Amino acid sequence: MERALRVTRPAGLLAARCSPVLSSTRTSLRLWQQQQQHCSGPTTTPQHTGFIPSFQHGRLSTVRSNHTDAQNSGQENTQAATAAEGQKGGDVKVPEGAQTGDVQAGDRPGGDRSNKTSAKGKATTTKKKKKQPKKPERFTRMKNDAGVVEFNSQKLKFRWWDTPSNPDLVLSPLWLRDSCPCHLCVDPDSGQKNFSTTELRDRPVIESAQVTADRTLEIVWANDPPSGGASHKSVFPAEEVKEWLMDDKWQRGRVVPRDPERILWDKAQYEALLAEGRCRVSYKDWLSDEPAFWDALLDLRQTGLIIITDVPSDEAAVERIANRVGPIQETFYGRTWDVRAKPQAENVAYTDKFLGLHQDLLYYDPVPGLQMLHCLSNSCEGGESLFSHGVRAAYELRLKDPAAYKRLAELSVWFGYRKGDNHYFATRQTIKQGAKGIPSEVRWAPPFQATFKLASGPSRGRNLYQWKRAANRFQAILEDDHNVVKFKLKEGECVIFDNRTVLHGRRQFKTGSAGSRWLKGTYVSYQSYLAAATRLAEHLEAGGIQLPLARATWVEQEKVKQSLQERKRADFEQVFSEKKKKSEPVPEPSPIPAAKSAGAAETTNSEPTQPKQ
């Protein structure tokens, strides 16, 4: 009787359990095919070959093959299958779809993700080749009697034999080629470049390079595009090369100068400077005396506040004072403007009200650098000028409350002006930070502060609350009597101050029959002020005064900290002395002895008399 062999599709779970042995199914399939050669009857092809049918002990079962040697295992299974077939003598039907050869990837879970099998039946895996790290590009070394230069397509290093090398000075060939100072690359008349940086190769090819005994660096470029593919020679003068070794932020013709040390003054320090004769210069010396002008400009650069005396009662005098520094910055107020009380004023400064510490035109771009106020008349009662160093106050806040300092340096404030056809709006942080997180400028102008954005969400409301708490601390420091310089401008005086670091204000005054107050003002742009500072640095260095390459910010902070400690000590000693005076008892006057009779006095002061013998 013919018995049919049926092979059903394995369940998903069973197939997953059988997946580890799929690598050996090919050999088992070959053994099963060898077995069919001894069987009779119709055959059917199995749909799945995950399990191999085999006769063991007279009954049909599936075979899991875990052997490793295909030949030995094939012989054993063939003998077992032949013996079982001889005992039963039955026919075996081959399931439909059975094929000789390799098992197809679609017949098992995982598809073509299975391991490849070699001709001997052993599983093999394909290993990905590891990427070999790129070998560093070798340097070309060229030396002579003066020194040595090493370069490749990305770097260039050099040194002289008689000078210690600077290991941190590794220059880019692209930067060197772009900075070539020769007359073919830079117009000698205008000082402007004759080519665009985009014309250069990403990695300019250095044909040769050398240092000379006079400390110049010479580089020859091969196939130079701005030169039409020909070679090009760059010669960097000794003065520039020397500055490269000292200043890692060097730029040719940069506007930002080397600054002298700033004096972050408080009231006592600024009054001491005035007592020394500093921060004050006459109008005549400012215009015509070069040494006096440079000394006054140095005081302005260090303190941010100077006074010019003996200015003529001429409305154009303030323009002449400003032009000594640089061109006037004209705004929508005009080239100059008048500060005096008038009805329906378009600016709070044009009233007789108290005007707190602030800075001008924070809603305007660019914010002016210098402000000049020439006093033409100030005979009224009140109207004293107020000044406070904003950067010093920022340092003080940083020392006392770092969290408040951080909020003012991060959260933005809006400033605005809208009157007539003029509409200006700008957003700024209260404290502007420079390198290493130190304060470089401040932005404080409550009269011109616009509303904050609608605080409809939790973050905006929280930011406004945090800014307000930090601003309270900052304002208290700005307006502290120890930090505010107060004086009344006299007729014929002109004050010049840095509008980005020094805040100004004034007390309320009375005009009319009591007198008048009239100031003439103008601005100088920040760029013009920096250009004047550059001329100042060149003048000082020509005179043998070497300015520092960078501002020693940690020194500034330590000086502020030291002055605060001295102030605290002085306040403590003052309070202690006052308490000591109050606690000391007032000495009572010695009582006047009562008058006594002569006999009593004699009896009191004389020795007792002895009886006469």
CATH number of residue 159's parent domain: 3.30.2020.30
Q: Looking at the predicted structure, is the pLDDT value of residue 95 above 90?
A: no
**Number of folded domains that form the chain:** 3
Model's pTM, two decimal places? Answer: 0.65
**b/e per residue 567-602 (b: at least 16 CB within 10 A):** eeeeeeeeeeeeeeeeeeeeeeeeeeeeeeeeeeee
- The stretch 266-278 carries a mean pLDDT of 95
d(CA 524, CA 528): 7
Same domain, 338 and 467: yes
Instruction: Indicate whether 118 belongs to any domain.
Output: no
Question: What distance, in Å, lies between the first and last C-alpha atoms of the chain?
Answer: 184
Same domain, 90 and 202: no
Same domain, 332 and 449: yes
State the pLDDT at residue 60.
44
Same domain, 236 and 273: no
Same domain, 235 and 282: no
Same domain, 403 and 509: yes
Q: Is the peptide bond before 611 cis (omega within 30 degrees of 0)?
A: no
Same domain, 206 and 347: no
Domain final residue, candidates 495, 514, 542: 542
pLDDT of 119-138, one tens digit each?
445 555 566 667 777 777 88
Instruction: Indicate whether 128 belongs to any domain.
Output: no
Same domain, 197 and 303: no
Sequence-ordered list of residues with C-beta below 8 angstroms from that of 444, at least 6 positions apart, any chain: 357, 358, 359, 390, 430, 474, 475, 478, 503
Same domain, 237 and 274: no
Nearest by Cα to 397 from 471, 466, 305: 471
Instruction: Indicate whether 31 belongs to any domain.
Output: yes
The percent of residues in the chain predicted with pLDDT above 90, rounded, is: 46
Q: Domain range spanning residue 163?
A: 140-246
- The stretch 195-210 carries a mean pLDDT of 94
Same domain, 211 and 321: no
Nearest by Cα to 429 from 467, 475, 479: 467
Instruction: Indicate whether 596 belongs to any domain.
Output: no
Contact 432, 440 (CB under 8 A): yes
Same domain, 213 and 285: no
The DSSP symbol for 8 reads: P
Same domain, 469 and 340: yes
pLDDT of 560-586, one tens digit each?
888 888 887 787 777 767 777 777 665
Written as six digits, the tokens of 431 are 């404290």
Written as six digits, the tokens of 395 are 């340092």
pLDDT of 507-562, one tens digit each?
988 877 678 889 999 999 999 999 999 899 888 888 877 776 555 556 777 788 88
